[in-house]
Structure 1
Amino acid sequence: MATQGAESSTSIPRQVVGGLQRPLPPLAAPPQDVSPSSRAVVRERGGRRLYAIDGIRLLAALMVAVHHYAGTNRVNQPGNLVWDRPVSEIMPTVFRFASYGWIGVEIFFVISGFVICMSCWGRTPRQFFTSRVIRLYPAYWVAIVFTTAVLVALPGVWDTLRTRDVLLNFTMLQSGSGVMNVDGVYWTLWSELRFYLLFLVVVWSGLTYRKVVVFCCVWGAAAMLAPVAKLPLLDLVANPSGAWYFIAGLALYLMHRFGQDLLLWGILAMAWLMGQRELGVRIDEVEHVSGWRGSVLIFTVFLLAMVAIALGATDRVRWRWLVTAGALTYPLYLMHYAAGTTFINRLRDTMDARLLVVSVIAGFMLLSWLVHRFVERPVAGLLKRGLDTSFARLRNAGG
C-alpha cells in the first residue's frame, strides 16, 4: 500500500536528472530494516485497514461451511448420517463446487501469516501473547459450550466426548495431549498455535525484514526435511502440511510493508510449489472428492488476489461492512460444522436441500454476530485489562 503521508525532503533518496533533483522510484533501493526515524511512515503505510482481506476471510469461511454441508466425502456416502443419501444425488451442481470448499482452510493459513506479521510489528512478546489470547479464546469457549449442548440435546449424528475431554478442550491444547476435539474443525487451531509459538521467537528478538526472511527460509527448510527425517519432534514443530501457507502469508506481508523484490517472489514461488503438492496430498488422503487441477487453480487465484492486496491494488476498497464480515468469520468457523450438520439431519425433510444449506449458514452468521457483539468484544476487553495488570505486576515484582 503506497504511503500517502508527506515525508521530509531529506528522507527521500534523489537522483540528479537534467540539473534537477528528482525522487527515486519506490523500489529503486532494497528493503531496509525499519529505523526509529522511519517507523512512523511505515506504520502509516501498514497500519491502514486492509478491507479486502476481511472480504476474503468471509469468503473462505463460507467455502468451508458449504463444503462441510454439501461437498465432503462423508456426506456423499450412501446412508450418511447428515443427508441419508449421497449429496451428489440431492444437489449435484452444488456438490461439484462445494467439493473444493476445503481450500478455504489453506486460505485461512495464508491470511494468518500475513495478518499476524502485520499486527505484531513493533510489539513486544507480552503484547503478542495478549493479542492472541483475547482474539482466540472468548469465541472458542462459547463454541465449545454451544456445540456440546447441541450434540447432547440432538444425539445420533456425532458422539459427545467425556466430560474430562470437553474440559480439556477449553485449553485449546487437546491435540497436544492426544485428546479428540469437541468439533472436528478445531484441528486447524493446533496448526495456528504452533505457528504462533515459532513466530514468538522472532517477535521476542524484534521484527525486522531480515529476521522474517531468515525465519521463512529456516522454517521452510525444516518443513521440507521433516517428512524424510522421520523425527516426530521435528515434524511436530515444523508442521510440514501447513508451514508453506503461513510462509506465503509472511512473504506477502513483507511485500506489502517493504515492497517487492526477487527474494520475496522466490519465497512465494517456493510456497506455491510446495503448497500445490500439499493440496494433492490432502486430496489423496482426506478429501477424495475434488481434483488436483481445480484445487491448484483456486489456490493460485487466491494467491494472486493476495499479491494484489499486498501491492496496493485494492487500497480503494473501503466498504465498512467488510469489517463486520471479517469479525464473523472466526465464530462462524468454530460453530458451523458439528452443530450445523446435526441441524441438517433434523431438518432435511422439511425444505429444499439448497434452501436448507443457505438457511443454516444464515443462521450461523447471525449467531456469529451475536457472539462477536456480546461475547468477544466485552470479554476481550476484560481479558486485556486483566492480562495487562498481571504482566505489570510480574514486571514490577522483585526476585
Structure 2
Amino acid sequence: MDALRGLAALAVVLFHYFDHYDRSHDHVTEPLFYIPWGDGGVQLFFVISGFVIFMTLQRAQRPMDFVVSRFSRLYPGYWAAILVTTFTVQALEVDYYQRPMLDVVLNFTMLQRLSFIPADDIEGAYWTLYVELWFYVAMLALFTLRLLRHIEAFLLLALGVSWAWWAGEYWGGSGFWGWNLTTSFGLVFGQIPFFVIGIGLYRLHMRERPSMALLVILAALATIPVQHPFELLAAALVAIAAFALILTGRAGFLRQPVLVWLGAISYSLYLIHNYAGRSLILRLQDDAGWSANASVAAALVASLVLATVLTYLVERPAQRLIRRWYASWRSHTNRPRPVVVKAS
C-alpha cells in the first residue's frame, strides 16, 4: 500500500513538472512526454487515506490516540517542507511562487484555507492536506461519539452532502453557498466520494457488513463522473483494482525495493516537489539554457534526494519522538496513585 502511495506521488510530481508547468511558464523545448492524468494521483491518496484512517481508528483506544497519531504523521514533515519551499523559491528568486511572510506563518496551522484566515497556500499542493485534515476531524467526531458502528449510514449522508453541494453550484452558480462556505469547505465536499471508497474497501476487506460496504462504494462511483472530470472516475477504478490485488495477495510486484523506498518518502516528496522543483526548472531553462527534459530530470532528482533526507532526518524521528512522549505520558497518568493510610 505504501508503494501504491509512492506511485501516486510520482504521478503528481510528473504532472506538475510537465503539464502544469506548461500552463504557467511553457517549457523551452518540447518535453519527452505529458501525463495529463497524473493529477488523479491525488484522488488515489484520498482513497488510501479512507482505508488507512478507518483502520487506525479501529486500533485506537481513545480519541487522543488518534489525534497524536495523525498529528505526528502530518505536522513535523509539513513544517519542515514549508521552510524548505520558502527558502528555495526565495533563494532562486522566483517571484511567481513567493508569498508574504504572514502567509508563511499562517500556513503552519494547515488551516489557511478557512475564509477568516487572511492567507493563501504557500505551496499549491497543500490544498489536499486541508481536505485530509477535515476528513480526520469528521472521523474523530464519529469515533468520539461512538458512531463508527453506523459508518455506512454516515457515508451515505456524506455523499448526500456532496450531491447537495454540487447541485447548488451547478444550478445556482459558484457563489450559491456564499463566499465564506465556498472558500472554507468547497474543496472538502467535492472530495468526499474518494474517502468513502477507501472506507468501503476497508469494510469489505474486514468483511464487516460487506453488502452495505459495496453499496456505498457503488454510490460513490456513481457520484464521481457527475461531479468530476471522467479521468477521476478512472483514478477511482484504478484504486479499487489496485486494492483488490493488494488485499488478495496478488500485488507482490509492488514490493520492489525502489517502490518501497518511493512509498516511504512519498509524503515528503509530495510536500516539497512542486513550487521548489518548478522554480529550479525555471532557472535551469531560462538562465542555464537547459532543455525541458534535462531540467525536469534535475528537479526530480533534487526532489527525491531532499524528500529522502526529510523523511529519515525529520519526519520519522519527529514521529517516533512524539509518539514515545505520548506513550510515556499515558503510562504515567494511568499509573495508580499510592493510597495514604492514616495510622490511629
The TM-score bracket by the shorter chain reads 0.7 to 0.9
Which amino acid counterpart does residue 217 of structure 2 have in structure 1? L
Superposition pairs of residues 250-265 of structure 1, within 5 angstroms: 250-258=199-207, 261-265=210-214
**Residue of structure 2 in register with 1:220 after alignment:** 159
**TM-score, normalised on structure 1?**
0.72
Distance 1:255 1:315 in 2: 21
1:197 aligns with 2:146: no
Contact 1:157 1:345 in 2 (8 A): no
**Residue of structure 2 in register with 1:121 after alignment:** 58
Q: Percent identity?
A: 30
Shift of 1:382: 2.5
Contact 1:60 1:105 in 2 (8 A): yes
Contact 2:194 2:236 in 1 (8 A): no
Q: Please tell me the root mean square deviation across aligned C-alpha atoms, in Å.
A: 2.9
Which amino acid counterpart does residue 5 of structure 2 have in structure 1? R
Contact 2:5 2:45 in 1 (8 A): yes
1:132 aligns with 2:70: yes
Shift of 1:276: 2.4
Contact 2:111 2:130 in 1 (8 A): yes
**Residue of structure 1 in register with 2:323 after alignment:** 384
Superposition pairs of residues 64-103 of structure 1, within 5 angstroms: 64-72=12-20, 75-76=22-23, 80=25, 83=27, 85=28, 90-91=30-31, 94-95=33-34, 98-103=35-40
Shift of 1:203: 1.8
**Residue of structure 2 in register with 1:306 after alignment:** 243
Match of 2:292 among 353, 369, 373: 353
1:144 aligns with 2:82: yes
- Helix, strand or coil at the partner of 2:96: coil
Unaligned segments of structure 1, at least 5 residues: 1-52, 281-291
How many residue pairs are counted as aligned between the two chains?
Answer: 322
**Change over 3 Å in CA distance of 1:121–1:393 after alignment to 2:** same
**Change over 3 Å in CA distance of 1:395–1:195 after alignment to 2:** farther
1:273 aligns with 2:222: yes
Distance 1:158 1:76 in 2: 13
**Residue of structure 1 in register with 2:109 after alignment:** 171
Distance 1:225 1:394 in 2: 45
Larger relative helix fraction: 2
Higher RCO, 1 vs 2 (CA within 8 Å, ≥6 residues apart): 2
Which amino acid counterpart does residue 195 of structure 2 have in structure 1? F
Distance 1:324 1:367 in 2: 13
**TM-score, normalised on structure 2?**
0.83
Contact 2:155 2:196 in 1 (8 A): yes
Superposition pairs of residues 40-51 of structure 1, within 5 angstroms: none
